[in-house]
Amino acid sequence: MADSPQEIQKAVRKILWIGAILIVFTVITVALSYVELPSHKWNLAVGMIVATFKAALVALVFMHLNHEAKLVYKVLAFTTVFVLALFVLFYLSNGDPLVFKNF
């Protein structure tokens, strides 16, 4: 916790900066929805990367996970691996389901 007015001002300034960064990346997300990359899979991958960055900022700063114990980081690492696996499965499943019909 902040003990002095200077520390409180520093914390508020940090939160405002993170909020501004989140707003900028939200604008980037909306702008990317109008950009057509060479493949729809590329659009999904870029969108997932931006969303992951924004979620990490929210979790670390606004949920105060950057000051937690080591056990929380281990659980968070497992969760991150699990979510990345889900992202990859989602990314791979968005293709044409009839591609493997010839086998």
Task: With respect to residue 102, please indicate whether it lies within any of the assigned structural domains.
Answer: no
Q: Which tens digit of pLDDT belongs to each residue from 2-21? A: 678 888 888 889 889 999 99
- Residue among 33, 53, 47 nearest 91 (CA): 47
Determine the structural domain holding residue 22 and report its residue range: 5-97
User: What's the total number of domains in the chain?
Assistant: 1
**Considering Cα of 90, then 91, then 92, then 96, what sign does the dihedral take?**
positive
User: Is residue 23 situated within a structural domain?
Assistant: yes
Whether 86 is in a domain gets the answer yes
User: Using one digit for the tens of pLDDT, what is the confidence trace for 43-99?
Assistant: 888 888 898 899 888 888 888 777 777 777 788 788 889 988 888 887 777 665 555
Is residue 45 a part of any domain in this protein?
A: yes
Indicate if the pLDDT at residue 24 is higher than 90. yes
Question: What predicted TM-score, i.e. pTM, was given to this entire model?
Answer: 0.61
